Amino acid sequence: MPDDTASEVSSINDESEHLRMVEALLFATDQPLSVEDIKERLPDDADVEAQIETIRRLYSGRGVNLVNAAGRWYFRTAPDLSFLLRKEVEDTRKLSRAGVETLAIIAYHQPVTRAEIEELRGVGLWRGTLDILLEAGWIKPMGRRRTPGRPVTYGTTPEFLVHFGLESVEDLPGVDELKAAGLLDSVDQALGRMQKEMAAAEKERLEKKAQLEMEIAAETMADEGEEE
């Protein structure tokens, strides 16, 4: 066999073996893997990106799909077959409506402070709500706002993206979709209330300004009458 042919066959065999290695890693892992995670376990000459793309195409349309979330890859049941795996079990830590609204606000407005969350919801925020989201690994402290009191800001985590099957926060559902699901009802009410309060405050300011101008005009006329 000519040397160039033997080299070509060897290259094909290597690629096939690399493909099997990547597939095995993705099946065996209990956590999504990044490209770098996979590269650490494969030979230096392995084209991991190409192997991942090949596997993704191979499994598209099958019972499980290779998907990317937050830059990490994992196998997931095909969306149209997820009903087969559902179990009617009671979740003692089911996220409350306040938790869902809080998570939505953080996801769409991050980084956001507790006070800002409360302002958008229109009600106070129970400390346990943030604790549950932090414990679940869906949110994390992002730093402190450079304002008086230096309040802590919160944002979502890669675990949040993986749990909801999102590649990035840009893939979040549109606000209209959340409103249709009724998840932003209280936020809409809060914004409506804020707009009414701002309109009322502006009206009061204009009335006070007009009253002040009338008082100044009356004093001016009185002064002019005394001078005469």
Task: State pLDDT tens for residues 140-152.
Answer: 999 998 888 899 9
pLDDT reading at 92 higher than 50? no
pLDDT in tens, 173-216: 765 655 555 545 544 454 455 556 666 777 777 888 788 778 77
CATH number for 124: 1.10.10.10
Q: How confident is the model at residue 124 (pLDDT cuts 50, 70, 90)?
A: confident
Residue 59's domain spans which residues? 11-84
Number of folded domains that form the chain: 2
Q: What does the pLDDT average to over 77-96?
A: 64
Q: What is the pTM of this model?
A: 0.51
Q: What is the dihedral of CA 106, 108, 110, 113, to 10 degrees?
A: -50
Q: What does the pLDDT average to over 104-123?
A: 87
Q: 202: which 2 tokens?
A: 């502006």
The DSSP secondary structure of 103-159, one letter per residue, reads HHHHHHH-SEEHHHHHHHHTS---HHHHHHHHHHTSEEEEEE-SSTT--EEEEE-HH
Q: Are residues 74 and 106 in the same domain?
A: no
β-strands 139-144, 152-156 pairing: antiparallel
Helix spans in the chain (H): 3-28, 35-39, 48-59, 97-109, 114-121, 127-136, 158-163, 175-180, 185-227
Of 84, 116, 145, the one marking the end of a domain is 84
Percent of the chain residues topping a pLDDT of 90: 24
